[in-house]
Amino acid sequence: VVLVLSLLISGFAFTMHVETQVASYARKELKAEMLARSGIEVARMQLILGALSPTNSGYDALNQDWAANELLYVDHELGDGMFNVKVTDEESKIPINRATDVQLKRLFVLLGADPSDGDVIVDSILDWIDTDDLTRLNGAESDYYQSLSPPYRAKNAPLDRAEELLLIRGVTPELYRGTPATETDPAQPGLAEVFTTMTSGTINVNTASAIVLQTMLGLDEAQVQAVLSRRDGADGIPGTEDDMPFRTAAEFFAAIGNLDPVNAQAAQGVVTVNSSYFTVKSTGQVSGVKRTILATLHRAGAIVQIVMWREMREGT
C-alpha cells in the first residue's frame, strides 16, 4: 500500500511540475508578446513625433529618432523583460510591383547574376505580375508552374508580400536571402532586402542604399559616391550626428550633377526625401522566451496606421 501510494504521489507531483512549467512558459510568452507590442507602439510614437517636429518635418533620414534611437530601441527594459526594435523605411527599397524591365535587369547585373539567369528571372517576375497568360521570351506562366511538383498557377497579379518571389522561376533561396561576407567576397544583399510591396512607389534618397539608387535612378558609381558622401557626413556612417540628409529633391539633383535625359525624366517622379511606409520589427523577451512582431505602418501627416501585422514565434 505504501509503495502504491508513493508511486501515485510521485506521478501526481511530476504532473504538477510539468503543468507548472507549461503555465510558466505560457505566462512568459504572453509577457514577451506584450513587450513586442509595446515596442511597436514606441516606434509608432516616434514616427508621429517626427512628423510633428518643427526641425525634422518635411524629410526623413536615418539620423532621426524614428530610425536611430538606442535609448528606446535597444534592450529597453520594461517590467520583467525587455524589447528591441528595428525600424526600416520601406521607401528605401525597390517597389517590385512598379519596377520596369530596365530597372530589374540593372539590379541583377549589380547583384552579379549570370546574364542568362537574370533575363529568366526578370521576365518571370514580369509574367507573374501581369494579368495575361502570354509568356515573355525568357519568362514563365502557369503552364511552366503546373509542370512542377507540387503544381501551382502563376498569380497574374501584383505581389502582396516579397516572400512570393520564392515561387517565381529562377529565384533561389540564396538569391532571395543574400549571402554573408567571406574572407574573399563581400556580403551580397538578397532580394528580400531590396524589394518591397508596401510603398507609395517613390524612393527616399536619404535612406535608400547604393544598389537601390543605381537600380531605380541609373546613377553611376561617381554619382552614388557623391550622394553617400553628402548625406552620411564626414565619418561615412549613416545614422550618426554628422549626417547631412537632403531636405529637398532639388538638393539631391544638385549633388549628383547631370543625368542623361532618359534617367532624368524617370527620376522626376520617383525621387523624394520623405517616406510614408515603415516596417517595425519588435522582439519582446522574458527569461529567454521571445516573441517577435513585424508591423508595417502607414504615416499620413501625424496619423500612423497599421497596414500589416505578422506575429512570429522564436525560430520562425
DSSP 217: H
At residue 314 the predicted structure's pLDDT band, cuts being 50, 70 and 90, is low
Residue-wise pLDDT tens digits, 203-240? 999 999 999 999 999 898 999 999 999 999 989 899 99
Residue-wise pLDDT tens digits, 152-174? 999 999 999 999 999 999 999 99
Instruction: Determine the average pLDDT of the residues in 95-108.
Output: 94
What pLDDT shows up at residue 53?
Answer: 87
Buried b (16+ CB within 10 A) or exposed e, 200-230: bebbbbbbbbebbbbbbbbbeeebbebbbeb
Residue-wise pLDDT tens digits, 59-78? 999 999 999 899 999 999 99
Q: What share of the chain is helix, strand, coil (3-state, %, to 5)?
A: 45, 15, 40
| Ramachandran angles phi, psi of 163, nearest 5° | -60, -20
* 100 pLDDT more than 80: yes
What are residue 306's DSSP bridge partners?
297
Residue-wise pLDDT tens digits, 41-57? 999 999 999 999 888 77
d(CA 122, CA 125): 5
At residue 258 the predicted structure's pLDDT band, cuts being 50, 70 and 90, is confident
Sheet architecture: strand order including 81-89: 76-78, 81-89, 277-286, 289-300, 303-313
What pLDDT shows up at residue 182?
Answer: 81
What pLDDT shows up at residue 187?
Answer: 83
What pLDDT shows up at residue 262?
Answer: 78
What pLDDT shows up at residue 207?
Answer: 96
* 316 pLDDT more than 50: no
pTM comes to 0.88
